[in-house]
Amino acid sequence: MAAPVDPTSTQAWATLTRLHGELQPDLRGWFATDPGRAERFSHTAGDLFVDLSKNLVTDEVLAALVQLADEVGLADRREAMFRGEHVNPTEDRAVLHTALRDPADVELDVDGQHVVADVHATLDKVYAFATRVRSGEWTGVTGKRIETVINIGIGGSDLGPVMVYEALIPYKQDGLSCRFVSNIDPTDVAEKTAGLDPETTLFIVASKTFTTLETLTNAKLARSWLLDGLRRSGAIDDQDASAKEAVAKHFVAVSTALDKVADFGIDPDNAFGFWDWVGGRYSVDSAIGTSVAVAIGPENFQAFLAGFHAIDEHFRSTPTAQNVPVLMGLINVWYSNFFGAETHAVLPYAQYLHRFPAYLQQLTMESNGKGVRWDGSPVTTNTGEVFWGEPGTNGQHAFYQLIHQGTRLIPADFIAVANPAHPLREGDSDVHELFLANFFAQTAALAFGKTADEVRAEGTAEAIVPARVFSGNRPTTSIMAPELSPSVVGQLIALYEHITFTEGTVWGIDSFDQWGVELGKVLAKELTPAVGGDTEALQKQDASTRALISYYRDQRR
Protein backbone atom coordinates (compact mmCIF):
# COMPACT_ATOMS: atom_id res chain seq x y z
CA MET A 1 0.00 0.00 0.00
CA ALA A 2 1.19 3.49 -0.79
CA ALA A 3 2.62 5.43 2.15
CA PRO A 4 0.09 7.78 3.70
CA VAL A 5 0.27 11.41 2.70
CA ASP A 6 1.11 13.61 5.67
CA PRO A 7 -1.97 15.85 5.81
CA THR A 8 -0.02 18.63 7.49
CA SER A 9 2.29 18.86 4.49
CA THR A 10 -0.51 19.50 2.00
CA GLN A 11 -1.36 22.82 0.44
CA ALA A 12 -4.87 22.45 1.78
CA TRP A 13 -3.55 22.22 5.34
CA ALA A 14 -1.64 25.47 4.87
CA THR A 15 -4.81 27.10 3.55
CA LEU A 16 -6.86 25.73 6.43
CA THR A 17 -4.28 27.00 8.92
CA ARG A 18 -4.54 30.46 7.41
CA LEU A 19 -8.34 30.35 7.26
CA HIS A 20 -8.53 29.23 10.86
CA GLY A 21 -6.27 32.09 11.91
CA GLU A 22 -8.47 34.59 10.08
CA LEU A 23 -11.81 33.06 10.99
CA GLN A 24 -14.09 35.07 13.21
CA PRO A 25 -16.94 32.68 13.90
CA ASP A 26 -20.20 34.54 13.49
CA LEU A 27 -23.09 32.22 12.75
CA ARG A 28 -25.57 35.03 13.42
CA GLY A 29 -23.89 37.31 10.96
CA TRP A 30 -23.27 34.58 8.39
CA PHE A 31 -26.93 33.61 8.36
CA ALA A 32 -28.09 37.24 8.35
CA THR A 33 -25.97 38.23 5.37
CA ASP A 34 -26.19 35.01 3.40
CA PRO A 35 -29.78 33.88 2.81
CA GLY A 36 -28.57 30.89 0.79
CA ARG A 37 -26.36 29.45 3.54
CA ALA A 38 -28.79 26.91 4.95
CA GLU A 39 -29.69 25.57 1.53
CA ARG A 40 -26.15 25.59 0.20
CA PHE A 41 -24.77 23.72 3.19
CA SER A 42 -27.55 21.11 3.36
CA HIS A 43 -27.41 17.83 1.49
CA THR A 44 -29.28 14.59 1.17
CA ALA A 45 -27.84 11.09 1.29
CA GLY A 46 -30.40 8.33 0.84
CA ASP A 47 -33.29 9.34 3.11
CA LEU A 48 -31.08 11.46 5.32
CA PHE A 49 -31.36 15.23 5.20
CA VAL A 50 -28.16 16.68 6.63
CA ASP A 51 -27.82 20.35 7.51
CA LEU A 52 -24.18 21.37 7.91
CA SER A 53 -24.93 25.10 7.93
CA LYS A 54 -24.63 25.55 11.70
CA ASN A 55 -20.98 24.54 11.57
CA LEU A 56 -18.07 26.98 11.84
CA VAL A 57 -17.31 26.73 8.16
CA THR A 58 -17.34 29.13 5.27
CA ASP A 59 -17.36 28.34 1.56
CA GLU A 60 -13.60 28.82 1.55
CA VAL A 61 -13.10 26.44 4.47
CA LEU A 62 -15.24 23.78 2.81
CA ALA A 63 -13.34 24.20 -0.45
CA ALA A 64 -10.04 23.74 1.39
CA LEU A 65 -11.36 20.65 3.18
CA VAL A 66 -12.45 19.21 -0.16
CA GLN A 67 -8.96 19.91 -1.46
CA LEU A 68 -7.51 18.16 1.59
CA ALA A 69 -9.52 15.03 0.76
CA ASP A 70 -8.14 15.23 -2.73
CA GLU A 71 -4.53 15.71 -1.66
CA VAL A 72 -4.55 12.78 0.80
CA GLY A 73 -5.98 10.51 -1.91
CA LEU A 74 -9.33 9.77 -0.29
CA ALA A 75 -11.02 8.77 -3.55
CA ASP A 76 -8.34 6.22 -4.43
CA ARG A 77 -8.31 4.66 -0.97
CA ARG A 78 -12.09 4.49 -0.94
CA GLU A 79 -12.06 2.69 -4.30
CA ALA A 80 -9.34 0.37 -3.03
CA MET A 81 -11.55 -0.52 -0.06
CA PHE A 82 -14.63 -1.19 -2.19
CA ARG A 83 -12.55 -3.29 -4.61
CA GLY A 84 -11.20 -5.49 -1.81
CA GLU A 85 -7.58 -4.38 -1.75
CA HIS A 86 -5.83 -4.96 1.56
CA VAL A 87 -6.42 -1.53 3.07
CA ASN A 88 -5.89 -3.07 6.53
CA PRO A 89 -2.12 -3.64 6.22
CA THR A 90 -1.32 -4.51 9.85
CA GLU A 91 -3.57 -7.56 9.51
CA ASP A 92 -2.97 -7.88 5.76
CA ARG A 93 -6.71 -7.98 5.08
CA ALA A 94 -9.29 -6.59 2.74
CA VAL A 95 -12.01 -4.47 4.34
CA LEU A 96 -15.30 -5.39 2.79
CA HIS A 97 -18.17 -4.57 5.11
CA THR A 98 -19.65 -2.76 2.11
CA ALA A 99 -19.95 -6.14 0.36
CA LEU A 100 -22.21 -7.37 3.18
CA ARG A 101 -24.95 -5.18 1.78
CA ASP A 102 -24.28 -5.50 -1.93
CA PRO A 103 -27.27 -6.79 -3.90
CA ALA A 104 -27.01 -10.43 -4.96
CA ASP A 105 -26.27 -9.62 -8.59
CA VAL A 106 -23.02 -7.81 -7.80
CA GLU A 107 -19.94 -9.80 -8.71
CA LEU A 108 -16.93 -9.29 -6.49
CA ASP A 109 -14.07 -11.74 -6.41
CA VAL A 110 -11.39 -11.03 -3.83
CA ASP A 111 -8.44 -13.23 -2.87
CA GLY A 112 -10.07 -16.15 -4.69
CA GLN A 113 -13.44 -15.79 -2.95
CA HIS A 114 -16.79 -15.02 -4.60
CA VAL A 115 -17.51 -12.49 -1.90
CA VAL A 116 -21.05 -11.37 -2.65
CA ALA A 117 -22.22 -14.90 -3.52
CA ASP A 118 -20.91 -16.12 -0.16
CA VAL A 119 -22.55 -13.21 1.64
CA HIS A 120 -25.93 -14.06 0.15
CA ALA A 121 -25.56 -17.79 0.82
CA THR A 122 -25.03 -16.98 4.50
CA LEU A 123 -27.86 -14.45 4.54
CA ASP A 124 -30.18 -17.09 3.12
CA LYS A 125 -29.17 -19.45 5.93
CA VAL A 126 -29.73 -16.73 8.56
CA TYR A 127 -33.12 -15.86 7.05
CA ALA A 128 -34.19 -19.52 6.98
CA PHE A 129 -33.25 -19.87 10.63
CA ALA A 130 -34.99 -16.60 11.58
CA THR A 131 -38.13 -17.72 9.78
CA ARG A 132 -38.17 -21.06 11.60
CA VAL A 133 -37.81 -19.40 15.00
CA ARG A 134 -40.44 -16.77 14.22
CA SER A 135 -42.96 -19.29 12.91
CA GLY A 136 -42.47 -21.65 15.85
CA GLU A 137 -41.15 -24.41 13.60
CA TRP A 138 -37.86 -24.23 15.49
CA THR A 139 -38.63 -25.27 19.04
CA GLY A 140 -36.70 -25.92 22.20
CA VAL A 141 -35.89 -29.46 23.28
CA THR A 142 -39.32 -29.97 24.85
CA GLY A 143 -41.18 -28.77 21.78
CA LYS A 144 -42.06 -25.31 23.11
CA ARG A 145 -41.63 -22.34 20.80
CA ILE A 146 -38.82 -19.89 21.47
CA GLU A 147 -39.85 -16.71 23.28
CA THR A 148 -36.49 -15.19 24.22
CA VAL A 149 -33.30 -15.00 22.21
CA ILE A 150 -30.15 -14.14 24.17
CA ASN A 151 -27.21 -12.88 22.16
CA ILE A 152 -23.92 -13.54 23.92
CA GLY A 153 -21.09 -11.42 22.53
CA ILE A 154 -19.01 -8.37 23.32
CA GLY A 155 -17.69 -5.33 21.45
CA GLY A 156 -18.84 -5.50 17.86
CA SER A 157 -20.54 -8.80 18.53
CA ASP A 158 -22.82 -7.05 21.01
CA LEU A 159 -22.98 -3.30 20.51
CA GLY A 160 -24.29 -3.47 16.95
CA PRO A 161 -26.98 -6.09 17.58
CA VAL A 162 -28.22 -4.50 20.81
CA MET A 163 -28.24 -0.99 19.35
CA VAL A 164 -30.16 -2.05 16.24
CA TYR A 165 -32.56 -4.26 18.18
CA GLU A 166 -33.40 -1.37 20.51
CA ALA A 167 -33.73 1.03 17.57
CA LEU A 168 -36.16 -1.28 15.81
CA ILE A 169 -38.29 -2.46 18.71
CA PRO A 170 -41.48 -1.38 16.88
CA TYR A 171 -40.59 -3.87 14.12
CA LYS A 172 -40.06 -6.89 16.34
CA GLN A 173 -42.45 -9.82 16.40
CA ASP A 174 -44.86 -9.93 19.34
CA GLY A 175 -44.11 -12.71 21.78
CA LEU A 176 -40.45 -12.82 20.82
CA SER A 177 -37.82 -10.67 22.47
CA CYS A 178 -34.06 -10.44 22.66
CA ARG A 179 -31.66 -9.87 25.51
CA PHE A 180 -27.95 -9.23 25.26
CA VAL A 181 -25.22 -10.55 27.52
CA SER A 182 -21.76 -9.05 27.09
CA ASN A 183 -19.96 -8.39 30.35
CA ILE A 184 -17.91 -11.06 32.08
CA ASP A 185 -19.21 -9.59 35.33
CA PRO A 186 -21.36 -12.60 36.29
CA THR A 187 -24.13 -10.17 37.16
CA ASP A 188 -24.83 -9.78 33.47
CA VAL A 189 -25.64 -13.42 32.76
CA ALA A 190 -27.47 -13.74 36.08
CA GLU A 191 -29.69 -10.72 35.41
CA LYS A 192 -30.37 -11.50 31.75
CA THR A 193 -31.44 -15.09 32.42
CA ALA A 194 -33.48 -14.13 35.48
CA GLY A 195 -37.14 -15.04 35.16
CA LEU A 196 -36.68 -16.93 31.88
CA ASP A 197 -37.83 -20.44 31.11
CA PRO A 198 -34.92 -22.50 29.72
CA GLU A 199 -37.43 -24.41 27.57
CA THR A 200 -38.28 -21.26 25.60
CA THR A 201 -34.84 -19.60 25.54
CA LEU A 202 -32.39 -19.73 22.66
CA PHE A 203 -28.79 -18.51 22.87
CA ILE A 204 -26.82 -17.04 19.99
CA VAL A 205 -23.11 -17.09 20.75
CA ALA A 206 -21.64 -14.33 18.59
CA SER A 207 -17.89 -14.03 18.35
CA LYS A 208 -15.81 -13.32 15.29
CA THR A 209 -12.78 -15.14 16.69
CA PHE A 210 -14.56 -17.50 19.08
CA THR A 211 -11.64 -16.99 21.46
CA THR A 212 -12.94 -13.99 23.42
CA LEU A 213 -12.74 -14.83 27.11
CA GLU A 214 -15.87 -12.92 28.09
CA THR A 215 -18.03 -14.51 25.44
CA LEU A 216 -16.82 -18.07 25.91
CA THR A 217 -17.16 -17.81 29.68
CA ASN A 218 -20.67 -16.41 29.37
CA ALA A 219 -21.58 -19.10 26.85
CA LYS A 220 -20.46 -21.78 29.31
CA LEU A 221 -22.44 -20.12 32.11
CA ALA A 222 -25.46 -20.03 29.83
CA ARG A 223 -25.03 -23.68 28.92
CA SER A 224 -24.96 -24.62 32.61
CA TRP A 225 -28.01 -22.45 33.30
CA LEU A 226 -29.86 -24.16 30.46
CA LEU A 227 -28.94 -27.73 31.36
CA ASP A 228 -29.41 -27.25 35.12
CA GLY A 229 -32.81 -25.69 34.53
CA LEU A 230 -33.95 -28.39 32.12
CA ARG A 231 -32.77 -31.12 34.48
CA ARG A 232 -34.42 -29.52 37.48
CA SER A 233 -37.77 -29.38 35.75
CA GLY A 234 -37.36 -32.95 34.53
CA ALA A 235 -37.36 -31.80 30.90
CA ILE A 236 -34.14 -33.75 30.26
CA ASP A 237 -32.32 -36.51 32.13
CA ASP A 238 -28.67 -36.75 33.19
CA GLN A 239 -27.49 -38.55 30.05
CA ASP A 240 -24.91 -36.86 27.81
CA ALA A 241 -27.12 -37.47 24.80
CA SER A 242 -29.92 -35.40 26.33
CA ALA A 243 -27.53 -32.55 27.08
CA LYS A 244 -26.23 -32.70 23.52
CA GLU A 245 -29.72 -32.60 22.10
CA ALA A 246 -30.66 -29.67 24.37
CA VAL A 247 -27.57 -27.68 23.37
CA ALA A 248 -28.35 -28.34 19.70
CA LYS A 249 -31.88 -26.95 20.13
CA HIS A 250 -30.96 -24.00 22.34
CA PHE A 251 -27.57 -22.82 21.05
CA VAL A 252 -26.54 -21.43 17.71
CA ALA A 253 -23.33 -19.55 16.91
CA VAL A 254 -22.00 -16.85 14.64
CA SER A 255 -18.29 -16.81 13.94
CA THR A 256 -15.51 -16.79 11.38
CA ALA A 257 -13.98 -19.77 13.25
CA LEU A 258 -16.48 -22.55 12.64
CA ASP A 259 -14.01 -25.22 13.85
CA LYS A 260 -13.93 -23.58 17.28
CA VAL A 261 -17.73 -23.42 17.30
CA ALA A 262 -17.82 -27.19 16.82
CA ASP A 263 -15.26 -27.66 19.63
CA PHE A 264 -17.64 -25.78 21.93
CA GLY A 265 -20.32 -28.36 21.17
CA ILE A 266 -22.51 -26.34 18.86
CA ASP A 267 -23.73 -28.22 15.81
CA PRO A 268 -21.95 -26.75 12.73
CA ASP A 269 -25.35 -26.89 10.97
CA ASN A 270 -26.48 -24.30 13.51
CA ALA A 271 -23.56 -21.96 12.92
CA PHE A 272 -23.50 -18.94 10.67
CA GLY A 273 -20.19 -17.83 9.25
CA PHE A 274 -18.60 -14.64 8.19
CA TRP A 275 -15.13 -13.66 7.10
CA ASP A 276 -11.95 -12.03 8.35
CA TRP A 277 -12.52 -9.07 6.04
CA VAL A 278 -15.39 -7.95 8.26
CA GLY A 279 -14.17 -6.05 11.31
CA GLY A 280 -16.07 -6.73 14.54
CA ARG A 281 -17.30 -3.15 14.80
CA TYR A 282 -18.43 -3.26 11.16
CA SER A 283 -20.28 -6.55 11.47
CA VAL A 284 -23.88 -5.95 12.56
CA ASP A 285 -24.92 -6.31 8.92
CA SER A 286 -23.33 -9.78 8.72
CA ALA A 287 -24.58 -12.92 10.47
CA ILE A 288 -23.61 -11.13 13.68
CA GLY A 289 -27.01 -9.46 13.25
CA THR A 290 -28.82 -12.83 13.51
CA SER A 291 -30.61 -11.83 16.73
CA VAL A 292 -31.90 -8.74 14.93
CA ALA A 293 -32.97 -10.81 11.90
CA VAL A 294 -34.92 -13.13 14.20
CA ALA A 295 -36.58 -10.22 15.98
CA ILE A 296 -37.55 -8.10 12.95
CA GLY A 297 -37.73 -10.79 10.27
CA PRO A 298 -35.91 -11.28 6.97
CA GLU A 299 -37.86 -8.66 5.05
CA ASN A 300 -37.04 -5.91 7.49
CA PHE A 301 -33.44 -7.11 7.69
CA GLN A 302 -33.20 -6.83 3.91
CA ALA A 303 -34.48 -3.27 4.13
CA PHE A 304 -31.88 -2.60 6.83
CA LEU A 305 -29.12 -3.81 4.47
CA ALA A 306 -30.56 -1.80 1.59
CA GLY A 307 -30.26 1.29 3.79
CA PHE A 308 -26.54 0.69 4.24
CA HIS A 309 -26.17 0.12 0.52
CA ALA A 310 -27.88 3.41 -0.37
CA ILE A 311 -25.28 5.29 1.68
CA ASP A 312 -22.44 3.16 0.28
CA GLU A 313 -23.50 4.21 -3.20
CA HIS A 314 -23.72 7.84 -2.15
CA PHE A 315 -20.27 7.65 -0.51
CA ARG A 316 -18.73 5.91 -3.49
CA SER A 317 -20.07 8.09 -6.27
CA THR A 318 -21.09 11.53 -5.00
CA PRO A 319 -18.61 14.35 -5.68
CA THR A 320 -16.76 15.38 -2.53
CA ALA A 321 -18.45 18.77 -2.27
CA GLN A 322 -21.86 17.08 -1.83
CA ASN A 323 -20.69 13.83 -0.28
CA VAL A 324 -22.26 13.80 3.17
CA PRO A 325 -20.03 11.29 5.00
CA VAL A 326 -16.93 12.83 3.46
CA LEU A 327 -17.97 16.36 4.39
CA MET A 328 -18.89 15.31 7.92
CA GLY A 329 -15.56 13.51 8.33
CA LEU A 330 -13.65 16.51 6.99
CA ILE A 331 -15.52 18.91 9.27
CA ASN A 332 -14.62 16.66 12.21
CA VAL A 333 -10.97 16.94 11.16
CA TRP A 334 -11.39 20.73 11.02
CA TYR A 335 -12.58 20.83 14.63
CA SER A 336 -10.10 18.25 15.93
CA ASN A 337 -7.00 19.58 14.30
CA PHE A 338 -7.60 23.30 13.97
CA PHE A 339 -9.86 24.11 16.93
CA GLY A 340 -8.38 21.50 19.27
CA ALA A 341 -11.78 19.92 19.91
CA GLU A 342 -11.27 16.75 21.95
CA THR A 343 -14.75 15.31 21.95
CA HIS A 344 -17.76 14.96 19.69
CA ALA A 345 -21.30 14.61 20.99
CA VAL A 346 -23.98 12.54 19.27
CA LEU A 347 -27.43 13.46 20.48
CA PRO A 348 -30.29 11.42 19.06
CA TYR A 349 -33.73 12.92 19.51
CA ALA A 350 -35.19 9.43 19.18
CA GLN A 351 -35.39 7.36 22.33
CA TYR A 352 -35.10 4.16 20.32
CA LEU A 353 -31.56 5.26 19.37
CA HIS A 354 -30.47 5.34 22.99
CA ARG A 355 -27.59 2.91 22.38
CA PHE A 356 -26.39 4.67 19.22
CA PRO A 357 -23.73 6.80 20.99
CA ALA A 358 -22.32 3.69 22.72
CA TYR A 359 -22.26 1.89 19.38
CA LEU A 360 -20.45 4.85 17.79
CA GLN A 361 -17.88 4.85 20.55
CA GLN A 362 -16.57 1.50 19.42
CA LEU A 363 -16.95 2.29 15.73
CA THR A 364 -15.08 5.56 15.86
CA MET A 365 -12.69 5.18 18.81
CA GLU A 366 -11.54 1.61 18.17
CA SER A 367 -11.09 2.60 14.53
CA ASN A 368 -9.30 5.93 14.84
CA GLY A 369 -7.76 5.88 18.30
CA LYS A 370 -4.28 5.31 16.87
CA GLY A 371 -0.88 6.95 17.23
CA VAL A 372 0.82 5.41 14.24
CA ARG A 373 -0.05 5.47 10.59
CA TRP A 374 -0.59 2.50 8.32
CA ASP A 375 3.10 2.44 7.38
CA GLY A 376 4.16 2.34 11.05
CA SER A 377 5.29 5.96 11.21
CA PRO A 378 3.91 8.28 13.91
CA VAL A 379 0.80 10.29 13.13
CA THR A 380 1.45 13.92 12.39
CA THR A 381 -1.50 15.42 14.17
CA ASN A 382 -4.14 14.63 16.77
CA THR A 383 -6.42 11.73 15.88
CA GLY A 384 -9.65 10.12 17.02
CA GLU A 385 -12.14 12.29 18.89
CA VAL A 386 -13.90 11.00 22.00
CA PHE A 387 -17.45 10.25 20.90
CA TRP A 388 -20.14 10.38 23.52
CA GLY A 389 -23.79 11.25 23.97
CA GLU A 390 -27.24 10.47 25.26
CA PRO A 391 -30.66 10.96 23.77
CA GLY A 392 -32.24 14.37 23.90
CA THR A 393 -34.09 15.66 25.78
CA ASN A 394 -32.53 13.75 28.70
CA GLY A 395 -29.11 15.19 27.94
CA GLN A 396 -30.52 18.72 28.03
CA HIS A 397 -31.20 18.28 31.73
CA ALA A 398 -27.79 16.80 32.39
CA PHE A 399 -24.76 17.93 30.40
CA TYR A 400 -25.93 20.47 27.80
CA GLN A 401 -24.98 23.27 30.21
CA LEU A 402 -21.33 22.57 29.41
CA ILE A 403 -21.98 22.47 25.68
CA HIS A 404 -23.83 25.83 25.81
CA GLN A 405 -21.68 27.80 28.21
CA GLY A 406 -18.56 25.77 29.05
CA THR A 407 -15.06 26.65 27.93
CA ARG A 408 -14.67 23.73 25.52
CA LEU A 409 -15.75 23.51 21.93
CA ILE A 410 -17.92 20.41 21.54
CA PRO A 411 -19.18 19.80 18.02
CA ALA A 412 -22.44 17.89 18.20
CA ASP A 413 -24.56 15.84 15.81
CA PHE A 414 -28.29 16.11 16.41
CA ILE A 415 -30.41 13.29 14.95
CA ALA A 416 -34.21 13.29 14.66
CA VAL A 417 -37.01 11.70 12.66
CA ALA A 418 -40.15 13.39 11.36
CA ASN A 419 -42.57 10.58 12.15
CA PRO A 420 -42.52 8.91 15.56
CA ALA A 421 -43.37 5.27 16.17
CA HIS A 422 -45.89 6.41 18.77
CA PRO A 423 -47.73 9.56 17.68
CA LEU A 424 -49.17 10.41 21.09
CA ARG A 425 -51.04 13.54 22.11
CA GLU A 426 -51.33 15.17 25.50
CA GLY A 427 -54.33 17.50 25.53
CA ASP A 428 -53.94 19.79 22.54
CA SER A 429 -50.28 18.98 22.08
CA ASP A 430 -48.66 16.54 19.73
CA VAL A 431 -45.94 15.23 22.02
CA HIS A 432 -43.54 14.46 19.17
CA GLU A 433 -43.80 18.11 18.15
CA LEU A 434 -42.87 19.18 21.68
CA PHE A 435 -39.90 16.83 21.39
CA LEU A 436 -38.84 18.17 17.99
CA ALA A 437 -39.25 21.76 19.17
CA ASN A 438 -36.48 20.98 21.63
CA PHE A 439 -34.28 19.57 18.86
CA PHE A 440 -34.73 22.71 16.73
CA ALA A 441 -34.38 25.04 19.73
CA GLN A 442 -31.15 23.51 20.97
CA THR A 443 -29.32 23.74 17.67
CA ALA A 444 -30.51 27.36 17.25
CA ALA A 445 -29.48 28.28 20.81
CA LEU A 446 -26.06 26.71 20.31
CA ALA A 447 -25.53 28.49 17.02
CA PHE A 448 -26.94 31.92 17.74
CA GLY A 449 -26.68 32.27 21.50
CA LYS A 450 -28.01 35.26 23.38
CA THR A 451 -26.23 38.57 23.70
CA ALA A 452 -25.83 40.66 26.85
CA ASP A 453 -28.19 43.26 25.37
CA GLU A 454 -30.84 40.64 24.76
CA VAL A 455 -30.45 39.41 28.33
CA ARG A 456 -30.71 43.00 29.66
CA ALA A 457 -33.79 43.63 27.54
CA GLU A 458 -35.51 40.90 29.53
CA GLY A 459 -35.05 43.02 32.65
CA THR A 460 -32.22 40.91 34.09
CA ALA A 461 -30.26 42.51 36.92
CA GLU A 462 -26.87 43.69 35.64
CA ALA A 463 -24.92 41.51 38.09
CA ILE A 464 -26.23 38.30 36.61
CA VAL A 465 -26.22 39.32 32.96
CA PRO A 466 -22.86 37.60 32.26
CA ALA A 467 -24.12 34.31 33.66
CA ARG A 468 -27.10 34.43 31.34
CA VAL A 469 -25.24 35.26 28.15
CA PHE A 470 -24.84 32.49 25.56
CA SER A 471 -21.87 33.03 23.29
CA GLY A 472 -23.36 31.02 20.40
CA ASN A 473 -21.10 29.78 17.58
CA ARG A 474 -21.26 26.30 19.09
CA PRO A 475 -21.27 24.02 16.06
CA THR A 476 -23.87 21.40 15.28
CA THR A 477 -24.87 19.17 12.39
CA SER A 478 -28.55 18.26 12.13
CA ILE A 479 -29.51 14.92 10.62
CA MET A 480 -33.16 14.25 9.89
CA ALA A 481 -34.98 11.30 8.36
CA PRO A 482 -38.64 10.56 7.64
CA GLU A 483 -38.86 7.81 10.29
CA LEU A 484 -36.72 5.36 12.18
CA SER A 485 -37.24 2.49 9.76
CA PRO A 486 -34.85 -0.46 9.31
CA SER A 487 -33.52 1.25 6.20
CA VAL A 488 -32.84 4.52 8.03
CA VAL A 489 -31.04 2.72 10.85
CA GLY A 490 -28.82 1.05 8.22
CA GLN A 491 -28.24 4.44 6.59
CA LEU A 492 -27.19 6.05 9.86
CA ILE A 493 -24.70 3.29 10.60
CA ALA A 494 -23.18 3.43 7.12
CA LEU A 495 -22.98 7.22 7.36
CA TYR A 496 -20.79 7.00 10.47
CA GLU A 497 -18.73 4.12 9.08
CA HIS A 498 -17.76 6.30 6.15
CA ILE A 499 -17.19 9.39 8.31
CA THR A 500 -14.76 7.23 10.30
CA PHE A 501 -13.04 6.06 7.11
CA THR A 502 -12.70 9.63 5.85
CA GLU A 503 -11.08 10.83 9.06
CA GLY A 504 -8.81 7.78 9.24
CA THR A 505 -7.66 8.38 5.67
CA VAL A 506 -6.83 12.02 6.33
CA TRP A 507 -4.80 11.00 9.37
CA GLY A 508 -3.13 8.09 7.52
CA ILE A 509 -4.56 5.56 9.96
CA ASP A 510 -5.45 1.91 9.50
CA SER A 511 -8.99 2.24 10.89
CA PHE A 512 -9.53 -1.52 10.79
CA ASP A 513 -7.10 -2.99 13.31
CA GLN A 514 -7.33 -2.74 17.11
CA TRP A 515 -3.97 -3.73 18.56
CA GLY A 516 -4.55 -1.35 21.46
CA VAL A 517 -6.96 -3.73 23.15
CA GLU A 518 -4.52 -6.65 23.17
CA LEU A 519 -2.18 -5.77 26.04
CA GLY A 520 -4.93 -5.60 28.64
CA LYS A 521 -6.29 -8.96 27.47
CA VAL A 522 -2.87 -10.62 27.78
CA LEU A 523 -2.24 -9.11 31.21
CA ALA A 524 -5.67 -10.21 32.48
CA LYS A 525 -4.80 -13.79 31.57
CA GLU A 526 -1.41 -13.54 33.27
CA LEU A 527 -2.92 -11.97 36.39
CA THR A 528 -5.71 -14.47 36.89
CA PRO A 529 -3.65 -16.92 39.04
CA ALA A 530 -2.57 -14.08 41.35
CA VAL A 531 -6.19 -13.00 41.77
CA GLY A 532 -7.05 -16.62 42.56
CA GLY A 533 -4.52 -16.74 45.43
CA ASP A 534 -1.24 -17.92 43.80
CA THR A 535 1.28 -16.10 46.01
CA GLU A 536 4.20 -16.63 43.67
CA ALA A 537 2.24 -15.02 40.84
CA LEU A 538 1.23 -12.21 43.19
CA GLN A 539 4.85 -11.42 44.05
CA LYS A 540 5.63 -10.89 40.34
CA GLN A 541 3.21 -7.94 40.16
CA ASP A 542 4.08 -4.30 40.62
CA ALA A 543 3.50 -2.83 44.10
CA SER A 544 0.23 -1.10 43.21
CA THR A 545 -1.29 -4.14 41.52
CA ARG A 546 -0.10 -6.35 44.38
CA ALA A 547 -1.80 -4.09 46.94
CA LEU A 548 -5.05 -4.01 44.98
CA ILE A 549 -5.16 -7.79 44.59
CA SER A 550 -4.31 -8.21 48.28
CA TYR A 551 -7.15 -5.86 49.21
CA TYR A 552 -9.50 -7.99 47.12
CA ARG A 553 -8.23 -11.22 48.72
CA ASP A 554 -8.69 -9.77 52.22
CA GLN A 555 -12.18 -8.47 51.55
CA ARG A 556 -13.71 -11.39 49.71
CA ARG A 557 -16.12 -13.51 51.70
Nearer to ligand F6P, 152 or 293 (CB): 152
User: Is position 337 an interface residue for ligand F6P (rule: CB under 6 A)?
Assistant: no
Nearer to ligand F6P, 154 or 184 (CB): 154
* DSSP run (H or E) holding 481: strand 476-483
Strands 251-255 and 201-206: parallel
Stretch in the footprint of ligand F6P (CB under 6 A) among 76-84, 153-161, 258-266, 543-551: 153-161
Interface residue with ligand F6P, options 90, 209, 318, 381 (CB under 6 A): 209
Nearer to ligand F6P, 517 or 548 (CB): 517
Phi, psi of 113 (to 5 degrees): -110, 140
DSSP output for 142-192: TSPBP-EEEEE--GGGTHHHHHHHHHTGGGSPTT-EEEEE--SSHHHHHHH
CB 290 within 8 A of CB 124: no
Phi, psi of 78 (to 5 degrees): -60, -45
Stretch in the footprint of ligand F6P (CB under 6 A) among 203-211, 484-492, 493-501, 504-512: 203-211
Interface residue with ligand F6P, options 134, 192, 208, 314 (CB under 6 A): 208
User: Is position 160 an interface residue for ligand F6P (rule: CB under 6 A)?
Assistant: no
Give the nearest distance from C-beta 283 to ligand F6P in angstroms: 7
Whether 344 is a known active-site residue: answer no
Interface residue with ligand F6P, options 229, 280, 298, 449 (CB under 6 A): 280
Interface residue with ligand F6P, options 77, 249, 250, 281 (CB under 6 A): 281
Interface residue with ligand F6P, options 3, 517, 523, 548 (CB under 6 A): 517
User: Is position 156 an interface residue for ligand F6P (rule: CB under 6 A)?
Assistant: yes
Q: Measuring CA to CA, which residue among 353, 329, 330 is closest to residue 165?
A: 353
Strands 429-430 and 425-426: antiparallel
CB 416 within 8 A of CB 350: yes
Q: How far is CA 458 from the centre of its chain?
A: 43
User: What is each CA distance from 33 to 60, 451, 510, in whole angstroms?
Assistant: 16, 18, 42
Give the nearest distance from C-beta 424 to ligand F6P in angstroms: 37
User: What is each CA distance from 61 to 149, 256, 476, in whole angstroms?
Assistant: 49, 44, 16
Dist CA 443 CA 142 (whole Å): 55
User: Is position 215 an interface residue for ligand F6P (rule: CB under 6 A)?
Assistant: yes
Give the nearest distance from C-beta 376 to ligand F6P in angstroms: 21
Nearer to ligand F6P, 2 or 517 (CB): 517
Residues 451-510 that bind ligand F6P (CB under 6 A): none
Nearer to ligand F6P, 191 or 518 (CB): 518
Nearer to ligand F6P, 223 or 404 (CB): 223
Stretch in the footprint of ligand F6P (CB under 6 A) among 207-215, 220-228, 399-407, 499-507: 207-215
User: What is each CA distance from 380 to 371, 372, 373, 512, in whole angstroms?
Assistant: 9, 9, 9, 19
Give the nearest distance from C-beta 514 to ligand F6P in angstroms: 5
CB 281 within 8 A of CB 160: yes
Strands 109-110 and 148-152: unpaired
Dist CA 180 CA 203 (whole Å): 10
Interface residue with ligand F6P, options 157, 270, 502, 505 (CB under 6 A): 157
Stretch in the footprint of ligand F6P (CB under 6 A) among 43-51, 132-140, 151-159, 291-299: 151-159
* DSSP run (H or E) holding 301: helix 298-317
Whether 397 is a known active-site residue: answer yes
Phi, psi of 526 (to 5 degrees): -65, -35
Interface residue with ligand F6P, options 45, 66, 154, 230 (CB under 6 A): 154
User: Is position 364 an interface residue for ligand F6P (rule: CB under 6 A)?
Assistant: no
Interface residue with ligand F6P, options 84, 140, 155, 384 (CB under 6 A): 155
- Write the binding mask 51 to 70 for ligand F6P: x where contact by CB under 6 A, - elsewhere: --------------------
Whether 172 is a known active-site residue: answer no
User: Is position 93 an interface residue for ligand F6P (rule: CB under 6 A)?
Assistant: no
Dist CA 62 CA 57 (whole Å): 6
The single residue of 244, 521, 525, 540 carrying the catalytic annotation is: 521
CB 484 within 8 A of CB 417: yes
Residues that bind ligand F6P (CB under 6 A): 154-157, 207-209, 212, 215, 280-281, 366, 514, 517
Q: Give catalytic residue positions.
A: 366, 397, 521
